[in-house]
């Protein structure tokens, strides 16, 4: 393991940007000292331990003695090799029927949602700067119309701590994205007020953040490293911001000057892969980029992935071999990470205005997204790229976000009608 670690440390490093350079580029006061190779060491050791524990049937989280939010963790499924599967028309699978229920609403647009890794909780963020935390078991009860104990209230926490306006003349500063810590009861939010806030949802009376990262740009997207030690922020700055959550130091990629500044308008969307060995960004210029999770180098730029229209989401498959992206060109695309090759396109849903997503279901056999023009949920067979279901969203206005559970056949939608809806498969 030590030899592997030494090799990894030699192969790449995160270089802290000089204070003057960063100040001119981002207006962020950063020290000039180079950081310790903590992230390199963390990833190298983590992967080695993961392999060792997997061979012995022990989870890395339990081995480390960390507080784990284990409910029913996802059951591993055989990954689908999309690169070798042709588009076989007429052989599409049937997506199971779901039932849905309105579970809550915000005072303004409901802009984002995220499930916890164990699938027990869902958080939603709004333009009214509020964050709501739902307990999934109670959402399931709410779907049952004949609840014997009266109305079920699935919202268990509401947080208010983001600035509504930077100035009195400004518009509201909405919540843009959310993420759950992979091991502890911490929820983070990124917002237009240039902050990332940390909430401990184990405390029933806490309504305010217990920690705050002050960025210099609109924080559009946030993603925890699987270790929980680092997080990425996609902002209006051209380069993703990597934060050490223990020190709050901000790191930038060492080859920032090599990127085409005109092309990288901003990295408005960031997501880590399942092991943290890579992360993907989507930007307003229509490009997606794959980054090395250890060296923070851009290793696979896919320029113009969605033409000149904004790329609104991108995420890895569980085996990290493919990326599913969505854009305001009304296309959803599947890419091969190793080559950058376009493998499949999923067409037939209009999304030109909002930051819509395309998401896999739990088995990665289906893809779900939103049609803004018809206010519908659209589902494709992931292998054949055929539309297999079109459902009314039951939102009064078009949904802005769709998020699938990591542990079961359920998802949430939220949108401009301020409402949050929970969907679950009908047994």
Residue 64: the pLDDT is 35
Domain around 166: 108-354
User: pLDDT by residue for the chain (427 residues), tens digit each?
Assistant: 444 434 433 443 333 333 333 333 333 333 333 344 555 555 554 555 455 444 444 443 443 333 344 444 444 567 788 877 666 666 889 999 999 999 998 888 888 999 999 999 999 999 888 899 999 999 999 888 655 566 788 999 999 876 655 555 456 678 999 999 999 999 999 998 899 999 999 988 878 899 999 998 899 999 999 999 999 999 888 888 999 999 999 988 766 555 554 444 466 789 999 999 999 999 989 999 999 998 888 999 999 999 999 999 999 999 999 999 999 999 999 999 999 999 999 999 998 888 889 999 999 999 999 999 999 999 999 999 999 999 999 999 888 899 999 999 999 999 889 999 999 999 8
At what angle are helices 2-11 and 38-56 packed, to 10 degrees? 140
Q: Please, which residues have CB within 8 angstroms of residue 153's CB and are 6 or more apart in sequence?
A: 138
For residue 301, tell me if it sits in a domain.
yes
28 in any annotated domain:
no
- Give the length of the chain: 427
Residue 400 lies in a domain: no
Listed as own residue / partner, the contacts of 325-331 with beta carbons closer than 8 Å and 24 or more positions apart are 325/282, 325/288, 325/358, 326/351, 326/356, 326/357, 326/358, 326/369, 327/282, 327/286, 327/351, 328/352, 328/353, 328/356, 329/286, 331/306
Does 93 map to a domain?
A: no
What CATH number is attached to the domain comprising 225? 2.130.10.10
Q: What is the longest distance spanned by two Cα atoms in the chain?
A: 64
Report the chain's mean pLDDT, rounded to a whole number: 80
Q: CA angle 413-223-108, nearest 5°? A: 40
Residue 242 lies in a domain: yes
Is 165 among the domain residues? yes
Token readout for 47 is: 């992967």
* 284 within some domain: yes
Q: Which helix (H) or strand (E) holds 347?
A: none
pLDDT at 265: 46
What gap in Å lies between CA 265 and CA 329, rounded to an integer?
A: 17
Across the strands, what pairs with 344? Answer: 334
Whole-structure pTM value = 0.81
Number of domains in the chain: 1
Q: Is residue 5 part of a domain?
A: no
């Amino acid at each position: 393991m030590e030899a592997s670690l030494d090799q990894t440390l030699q192969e790449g490093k995160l270089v802290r940007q000089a204070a003057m350079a960063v100040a001119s580029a981002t207006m962020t006061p950063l020290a000039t000292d180079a950081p310790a190779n903590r992230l390199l060491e963390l990833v190298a050791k983590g992967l080695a331990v993961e392999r060792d524990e997997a061979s012995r049937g022990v989870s890395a989280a339990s081995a480390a003695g960390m507080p784990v939010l284990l409910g029913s963790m996802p059951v591993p499924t055989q990954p689908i090799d999309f690169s070798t599967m042709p588009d076989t028309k007429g052989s599409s699978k049937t997506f199971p029927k779901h039932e849905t229920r309105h579970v809550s609403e915000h005072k303004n647009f409901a802009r984002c949602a995220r499930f916890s890794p164990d699938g027990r909780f869902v958080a939603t963020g709004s333009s009214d700067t509020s964050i709501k935390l739902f307990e999934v078991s109670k959402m399931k009860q709410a779907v049952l119309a004949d609840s014997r104990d009266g109305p079920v209230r699935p919202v268990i926490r509401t947080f208010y701590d983001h600035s509504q306006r930077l100035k009195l003349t400004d518009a509201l500063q909405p919540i843009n994205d959310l993420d759950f810590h992979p091991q502890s009861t911490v929820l983070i939010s990124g917002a237009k007020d240039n902050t990332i806030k940390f909430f401990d949802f184990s405390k029933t009376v806490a309504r305010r953040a217990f920690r705050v990262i002050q960025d210099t740009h609109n924080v559009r997207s946030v993603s925890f490293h699987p270790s929980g030690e680092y997080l990425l922020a996609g902002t209006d700055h051209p380069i993703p911001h990597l934060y050490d959550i223990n020190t709050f130091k901000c790191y930038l990629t060492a080859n920032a000057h090599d990127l085409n500044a005109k092309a990288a308008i901003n990295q408005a969307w960031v997501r880590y892969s399942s092991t943290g060995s890579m992360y993907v960004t989507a930007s307003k210029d229509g490009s997606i980029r794959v980054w090395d999770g250890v060296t923070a180098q851009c290793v696979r730029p896919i320029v113009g992935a969605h033409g000149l229209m904004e790329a609104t989401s991108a995420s890895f498959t569980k085996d990290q071999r493919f990326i599913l992206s969505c854009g305001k060109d009304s296309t959803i695309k599947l890419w091969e990470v190793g080559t950058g090759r376009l493998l499949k396109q999923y067409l037939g849903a209009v999304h030109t205005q909002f930051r819509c997503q395309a998401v896999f279901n739990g088995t990665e056999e289906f893809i779900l997204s939103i049609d803004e023009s018809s206010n519908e949920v659209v589902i494709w067979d992931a292998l054949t790229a055929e539309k297999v279901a079109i459902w009314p969203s039951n939102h009064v206005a078009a949904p802005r976000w769709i998020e699938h559970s990591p542990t079961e056949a359920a998802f949430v939608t939220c949108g401009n009608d301020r409402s949050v809806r929970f969907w679950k498969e009908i047994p």
